[in-house]
A and B are shown apart, each in its own frame.
Chain A
Amino acid sequence: MNLLSILLGLLVMLVLYFGIHLVINRGKIKFDYLVIAILYSFAIGVPVAYYSNAPEKLNVVIYVVYYAAFLLPFFGYEFYKCLKGRQSWGPFLLIYSGIILILISPALKLPVKFISILLGLILITVYFFHLFRYPHLNPMWLADTAKKAAENIEKDCRYSPKPVIVPIPSKKTSCTSAIGLYLLFKKNMVVVKMKKEFHEKLGRPNMEDYARELVKRITQKLQNEGKTL
Chain B
Amino acid sequence: MIDLIRILGSEHIFSIIDFVQKSPGQNASSIASSLNIHTVTVQRALETLAKYGFVDVEEKRGVGRPSRNFTYKGGKLTIDLNELFSGYDLKDDRIRESGNPDISFSYDVDKETVNAILFGGKKGDKIKLDSKTGRFLWLVPPPDSKGETIEHVCGEAGIPLVDAIRFCLRMQELDVLEVIR
Q: Does A207 contact B (CB under 8 A)?
A: yes
Question: For residue A164, which residue of chain B has the nearest CB?
Answer: B142
Q: How far is the CA of A199 from the CA of B107 in the complex (A)?
A: 19
Q: Does B80 contact A (CB under 8 A)?
A: no
The A interface, classified by DSSP as helix, strand, loop or mixed, is loop
Which of A84, A161, A206 touches B104 (beta carbons < 8 Å)? A161
Could you tell me if A208 and B141 are in contact, using CB atoms closer than 8 angstroms? yes
Which of A121-129, A137-145, A152-160 lies at the binding interface?
A: A152-160
Q: Does B158 contact A (CB under 8 A)?
A: no
Which of A84, A184, A193, A207 touches B143 (beta carbons < 8 Å)? A207
Could you tell me if A208 and B142 are in contact, using CB atoms closer than 8 angstroms? yes
Could you tell me if A158 and B138 are in contact, using CB atoms closer than 8 angstroms? no
Could you tell me if A157 and B144 are in contact, using CB atoms closer than 8 angstroms? yes
Question: Which residues 150-180 of A have a CB within 8 angstroms of B?
Answer: 154, 157-165
Interface residues on B, range: 20 to 34
Q: Does B97 contact A (CB under 8 A)?
A: yes
B152 shortest CB reach to chain A, Å: 12
Could you tell me if B110 and A86 are in contact, using CB atoms closer than 8 angstroms? yes
Which of A84, A86, A158, A162 touches B107 (beta carbons < 8 Å)? A162
Which chain A positions have C-beta within 8 A of B107? Answer: 162-163
Q: How far is the CA of A50 from the CA of B112 in the complex (A)?
A: 47
Could you tell me if B145 and A162 are in contact, using CB atoms closer than 8 angstroms? no
Which chain B positions have C-beta within 8 A of A207? Answer: 142-145
Q: How far is the CA of A158 from the CA of B178 in the complex (A)?
A: 13
Q: How far is the CA of A65 from the CA of B146 in the complex (A)?
A: 53
Interface string of B90-103 (1 = CB under 8 A from A): 00000001110100
B176 shortest CB reach to chain A, Å: 10
Best-buried of A154, A208, A211 by chain B (most CB within 10 Å): A208
Question: Which residues 103-135 of A have a CB within 8 angstroms of B?
Answer: none
Q: How far is the CA of A84 from the CA of B109 in the complex (A)?
A: 10
Which chain A positions have C-beta within 8 A of B142? Answer: 160, 162, 164, 207-208, 211
Could you tell me if B145 and A208 are in contact, using CB atoms closer than 8 angstroms? yes
In the complex where A160-B142, A161-B104 touch, is A191 in contact with B114 (Cβ < 8 A)?
Answer: no
Q: Does B17 contact A (CB under 8 A)?
A: no
Interface residues of B (CB under 8 A from A): 97-99, 101, 104-105, 107, 109-110, 112, 114, 137-146
Enumerate 15 A-B pairs (CB-CB under 8 Å) in ascending A order.
A157-B144, A158-B99, A158-B144, A160-B97, A160-B142, A160-B143, A161-B104, A162-B137, A164-B141, A165-B139, A184-B109, A193-B109, A206-B144, A208-B144, A208-B145
